[in-house]
Structure 1
C-alpha cells in the first residue's frame, strides 16, 4: 500500500493526516513508508515511470514543482506546506531493499517528490543507503537534484553507474529569485555540474522547467545553453513547465501577482491536465536541440543501462 492509499479521515482527530501519523521533529515530519517505489505522474515530463523519494516536499520552494499535489493527499496544502513541512521516510533504505527484491529491473528516478539532496539530507543522511541498495540490485537509476550536497556522494554515484540530472532551466538570477527562492543560484549549479564531471559522475543538465513567456526567449535559451556547455557536460534534457493539479493553482496565484498580463495566455497554453500545447513545446525543445548541436552536446533523455547486481541474489520462488 502506497502513500496515496492512506485514509484521510479520522473522526477522533481533525488534524491533518500527516500530523496524526508522523513523528514531528521541527519542520520535519517522520513517517514510515509502506513502499518506496512509486509511479511517476505522466505530467512530470521525465523518462522514468517509477521513482524513489526519501523526502516529500522541498525547501527549494520552486513554484512550478510538479510534486506539490502529494502534500494535499496528506492533509497539507500544496503551497507553503510543501515548501516548509518536509516529510521524511526514515525507513527508506530498509523498505527500498524489500521493494527491490521483487523489482523487475526497470530504471528508477530518485528525488521526484522532493529533492533528495535538500537540507533534510544533511540531517537524515538517507541517500548513501539508497544508492547502495540500488547498486547492489543492479537497477539503473537517475538522481534528480539542484543540491550541492550530491557532491558528498559523488564517489558512490560514480561507482554505482548512476546518472545525475542537475536542473538548470535559466541563468537569469532575477527569475531564479522569483520562482526558485530556496534553490541554489544558477551559477552554483553550473559549478556543481563541473565538479560532478570532474569527479567522473555521469551527469547531464535537466533544462527544466522552461517557463513560457518568462524564460523562453531566444536570447535566454541561447545564454543558458552556452553557460551549460561551459561546464563540460555532454547532454541536456529540456522540459517545458508542467502545471498539474496542485501546482497549477499555486503557480498561477503567483503569476497573477507578479505578471497579471500573462495569466490569460497561460490559460490558453495549458490543457486541463497541466500539459503545455504540443506546438509550443515542440518549438521550444526544437530550439534547445539546435543550440545543443551548435555546442556539441546531445539533447534529450539518456537511456540508462542495467548493471549486474553487486552481490548474488536468491531466486524468488
Structure 2
C-alpha cells in the first residue's frame, strides 16, 4: 500500500496521486496525537471556490481549508470528492486529510483584488473546518481575520467544538461584518452517534458549543441533518432532539432527510448491513438505484412530523426542501444576487465560468 512506511516529517513526491497537477505538494505527515491519520500538506493556488448558480445551492463562494475529514461520518455526502485524488471514499476519506497550509495567505490576496465584490463566503460546506486537524494547523483564525479585514460576510457550519476556541475572534469579526454560526447535530442517541459519527465530538459537547456561541450573542442555527429513516425519525427521538436544541439556546433549526450521494451511498449501506441488517431492504426502497434523495413522500411525511415539534419548543425553522434551490437558507451565507460574478482566480480564469467546486 502506497501509504505504508511514512514517518513524521518525511516527504514523498508520489504520495498524493491526483494532486501533481496542482504543483503544491509539500509533505505527508503522521504524528502520534493523530493515530491512523496521515496529513498531506499542500500549497493551495487558490482559496475562494466559486459555486455557479446552476448548482442550486444557496451560496456563491466557499473556502475549504481541508479535504477529507476525520469526523468519519458514515453518511457524509462529500465522500465522493476524495476519489478525485485517486483515494477511496471510505477509509481514505476519514484518514487521508489534505491540508492547505497557506490557505489564509492566498485568501487574503484574493480578497484584496479590486474585482472582489464582498459576497458572503461559506465555510464548512464540504468538509468540516473545525475537524480535529484544525487543532494542529490553526488555519481558521487566519481565514476569519482575512475575511473580516476585507469586509466580507461569512458563515460557518461545523460539528467541531473547536469553534469555541475562536469565539472571541468571531465576536470581534461580527462587529465589522455579518457573521452567522450553525452547528450540525444529527444524532442524539449516544450509542448510535458513536457508531455512525465515530470521529465527532459528542452530542452533549456540541450542544455546549451552541450554548457558548449563543451566550456571546450569536443567533445560532442547528442543522438537524441528516434525519435517518427508522433510526432517528420517531416522534420521541425528534422531540428529545428539539428540546435539547432549544435548551442550548439555538434560535432556528434546519432539518432534512439523509442524502446518499455516490461514494457515501456505498459506504453507508455497508455500515447499515453490518449494524442494522433489518433496515437494508427499507433503505433500498427509499433510495432505489442511483437515487441520492429519499422519496418526496417520505420528505413530506417527515416535515409534517417535525413542524409541530418546532412550535412546541419555540424554535424557528424550516425543512431543507422549504428553500427553493438557489435561495437563501438560514444559517448559510446569503447570495448577493443571481447575476454571475466574474472574479479572476489564481488559476487565471473567470471564476463564474469555473466548474462547481465545493472543496
- Would the TM-score normalized by the shorter structure come out above 0.5? yes
Q: Distance in 2 between matches of 1:295 and 1:204?
A: 14
Larger CA deviation: 172-181 vs 103-112: 103-112
Q: Distance in 2 between matches of 1:264 and 1:170?
A: 22
Relative distance call for 1:294 and 1:15 in structure 2 (3 A) is closer
**1:194-233 alignment, distance < 5 Å:** 194-233=211-250
| Superposition deviation, residue 265 in structure 1 | 1.9
Larger CA deviation: 270-279 vs 218-227: 270-279
**1:1-317 alignment, distance < 5 Å:** 16-18=17-19, 21-26=25-30, 27-38=38-49, 47-100=58-111, 101=113, 102-161=115-174, 162-270=179-287, 272-300=290-318, 301-302=329-330
Deviations 1:150-177 (A, max 9, x none): 1111122223232111111231011101
What runs of 5+ residues in structure 2 fail to find an aligned partner? 1-12, 31-37, 319-328, 335-343, 345-359
| Superposition deviation, residue 246 in structure 1 | 1.0
| Superposition deviation, residue 48 in structure 1 | 2.8
Scaled by the length of structure 1, what TM-score is found?
0.84
Deviations 1:171-228 (A, max 9, x none): 1011101100111111111111111111223321111111111111111111100111
Deviations 1:255-294 (A, max 9, x none): 1111122222222212635122122123223432321111
Residues 107 and 304, structure 1, Cα contact 8 Å, conserved in 2: no
Deviations 1:36-69 (A, max 9, x none): 2335699x99643432111111111100111111
**Higher relative contact order (Cα pairs below 8 Å, separated by 6+ residues):** 2
What runs of 5+ residues in structure 1 fail to find an aligned partner? 1-11, 307-315
Q: Distance in 1 between matches of 2:134 and 2:150?
A: 23
Secondary structure, counterpart of 2:220 in structure 1: strand
Relative distance call for 1:290 and 1:115 in structure 2 (3 A) is same
Larger CA deviation: 131-140 vs 17-26: 17-26
Q: CA RMSD in A?
A: 2.7
Residues 158 and 202, structure 1, Cα contact 8 Å, conserved in 2: no
Residues 155 and 331, structure 2, Cα contact 8 Å, conserved in 1: no
